[in-house]
Structures are given as C-alpha cells and as structure tokens.
Structure 1
Amino acid sequence: MPETPEVPQPQLRTLDARSLRGLAHPLRMRMLAALRHEGPATASQLAERLGESSGSTSYHLRQLAAYGFVEDAPEHGKGRERWWKASHDGTRFDESLLYDDDPSTRGAADLFLHEIATIHAQEVNSWLGSAQAWSVEWRRGSDLSDFTLHLTAEETLELIHKMHDLVNSYRDLPPAEGRQPVRVHTHTFPREDDRTRRTP
C-alpha cells in the first residue's frame, strides 16, 4: 500500500508559565503576529503599522527577545537598523495554565486567550469591511460558517486534530500566481443545552 504523505507541521512554541507571562500583553501579541504573518521588520516599521511609538515597540521587542519569541534578522539590516523576526511559526497554548497554582499565571492565561479572541474578531471585521474590493472568486473562497455537533470531549479533540492536519497539509504549497496569505480561524467549544442541564 502507498504510504500516507506526512502532513507538514509548523514549528510551534509551547507556552509555559514563564513564557506566557512574557507574551501575555496585547501589544506584544500583535507585534509577534505581525512578524509571523508579514515577515521581518524594524521597531519603527512595527510602530507605524500598529499605531504605536517606536520607543514602545523597541521595548516590547526586547522583552519578546528575552523570552525567546523573536530574534535578530541581520540579513535584512541596513546600516544601524535592527531587524527582527519571529523565532517560531506559531504558539501552542497548554490548557493546564488556566489551572495553575499561581494566580498571576491564571490571569495571564485568561488575558492571552481573550486577546486571541479579540484579534480574530478584528480580522473578521476587517475582512468584511474590505471584501467588496476583492474579486468574486476570493469572496467565494471566504467562509463564515458555524456548526453544532453532539460529541464527547475525546471526539471533539479528535476533530480538532483532524482539522489542524487538514489545514497544515496546505502549508508548504509552492509559490504560484494568484496565491495570497489566507487566515484560517477555528473555534471549538462546548455549549450547555437542556440535556446537559438535566444531567444529575
């Protein structure tokens, strides 16, 4: 039988309590996302892009570097400009951080997740606000769907892994005419219903 091709996996940084506290800041999260999505940049470029001062972005870049999220990109530097790049493709959140004994870690975990949700909502709203400028083909290629399934916790985790594998199978496509960066969000969570409320 032919072997199943291996699904390419992104290089992920798994958060622990220390690194979470270093990242759980709205501006740092947005700066890191910008470097991951748009490539290396200077503090001044990030400041202009995010509407911040270059002093602020410089400080937070140094903090991100101290926690291992960004690193120098000397191949992009010109003269005295300091360029930065993301050290990993993405971040993996460990659910155990929500139940950590340290309340500051739990607070950082909560802030981190809420900021992720805020960023996702802003990206969707930004797309809806600019969609008319895109072609009919790209509008057909966008999606805002939701589904309600009845699953166990184990089945839900299996579904998440399958969705992630499917998305990652498109990760290493070679450059081609017409390809654009495409953002894919997944949100999977349980809801209480009448049957759940009646369960003793």
Structure 2
Amino acid sequence: MPTTEPDDRAGTTENPKVLSIDARTLRGLAHPLRIRLLNALREFGPATASGLADRLGESSGATSYHLRQLATYGFVEDDPARGKGRERWWRAVHAGAAFGPEFMNDPDPEVRGAMGLVLHEVATVHGQELSTWLGTMHEWPQEWYAASDLSDFKVRLTPELATELSDKIHALVNSYRGRVPEDTEGSAVVRTHLHIFPRPTD
C-alpha cells in the first residue's frame, strides 16, 4: 500500500491522522501542484496562498485555486488560529494519506490515470529530495554525512514476503517517532524513502 507522510500503514479507522484515499478523493488530489501544496502544508505548517506561491515558484492565483480544490476534497481547511486578517490561511487536515492497490486495476480509466499521476509525482518528489541532499550535504556537519544512507538491495521474495518486509520497515521507522523533541540541539527532520518493487530477471 503506497503511503505519503507519515508513512503509517493505518488508515482512518485506526489512525485519524492518516486519510484513507477513495476514488473520489484520489481524483481530487491528482494534480502535480495540489500534491506539492499538500506536501508543503504538511511539512512546513499553515500558510497562505501567496506564501505557498513564493515557496513553490507559482502564481498566487494558481495556488489559491488549487487550495480551494483541495479543501473541496477534504485535504486542507482554513486555519482559524491565523485567519484573522485579509489573507486566508490554510492547513493540512491529515498528517498523511494511504492508498490501496485496487486503484491500478480500477475499471475506470480516469481512476487508473489519477493513481498513476499521483504515484509518479510522489516518485518525482523523492528524487528531488534526494538530489537536494546530494547537492547540499557538504553544508551539513560530518556526523550527518556519516549518518546518511544511499543503498539499494536485491532479494528474491513472494508478494506475501514483500508485504511483510514493507510492514516491518514501516513499523521500525514509526518506532522512532517522538523520541527526539523539536528543540533538541543537533537534531534534524530525517526523510526516509521506501521503494519495494519487482524486477524481471531476464
């Protein structure tokens, strides 16, 4: 099951911070700028359309329109704690989202196309984040360079064992949540990407 931050396998029933995507909300999310807007709100907190436009290099008209669309589908909402002036502040409703595998086999080509767009955009973001790290790692203390990892592995599995591996990695990452307070000296937000997929052997 592909997920976006916070990489939690639970859906809304077990974890209200994670939105379980259905076909309707999937179609509402399937736009590159909407995905980038939602990621920015989740990572950096509440913002205005103009603030997000500056961060993402877009026009405020475009960010404003797509924020309203995200609100229609329940991804973002007004932030009442900040929306006291003329500018409208937005915040993410959920910390992350979970996608079921059924969308890639949906009889509706629009749903399959939306799923493909979202997955490719997530992969693009992962690549951009990794490229940013590689281009700026010389600016970080040596300890962070030593602690970073850029590895890939090949192992023969069944679909069931691949699912088990993914579940265990998710559980391991989640076991580190909350262990380091935000104001801890020398700490940083660490991004961990997980890609598990089969490859042909010939």
Q: TM-score, normalised by structure 2?
A: 0.89
Please point out which of 174, 184, 194 is paired with 1:186.
194
**Whose Rg is larger?**
1
CA distance in 2, matches of 1:192, 1:117: 20
Q: CA deviation at 1:76?
A: 2.3
Compare 73-82 and 23-32 and name the one that shifted more.
Answer: 73-82
- 2:50 equivalent in structure 1: 44
- 2:126 equivalent in structure 1: 120
Letter of the structure 2 residue corresponding to residue 16 of structure 1: D
Structure 1: which 5+ residue stretches go unaligned? 1-6, 195-200
The count of residues paired between Structure 1 and Structure 2 equals 188
CA distance in 2, matches of 1:193, 1:157: 20
Q: TM-score, normalised by structure 1?
A: 0.90
Percent of aligned positions that are identical: 59
CA distance in 1, matches of 2:97, 2:22: 11
- 1:156 equivalent in structure 2: 162
Structure 2: which 5+ residue stretches go unaligned? 1-7
Residues 8 and 172 in structure 1, CA contact (< 8 A), matched pair in contact too = no
CA distance in 2, matches of 1:64, 1:171: 27
- Give runs of ≥4 in structure 1 deviating > 3 Å: 7-10
Cα offsets for 1:117-149 (capped at 9, x unmatched)? 111101100111111111101111211110111
Residues 9 and 167 in structure 2, CA contact (< 8 A), matched pair in contact too = no
Residues 8 and 171 in structure 1, CA contact (< 8 A), matched pair in contact too = no
Letter of the structure 1 residue corresponding to residue 126 of structure 2: H
Residues 9 and 170 in structure 2, CA contact (< 8 A), matched pair in contact too = no
Query: Over aligned residues, Cα RMSD in angstroms?
Result: 1.6
SS in 2 for 1:183: coil
Q: Does 1:76 pair with 2:82?
A: yes
- 2:94 equivalent in structure 1: 88
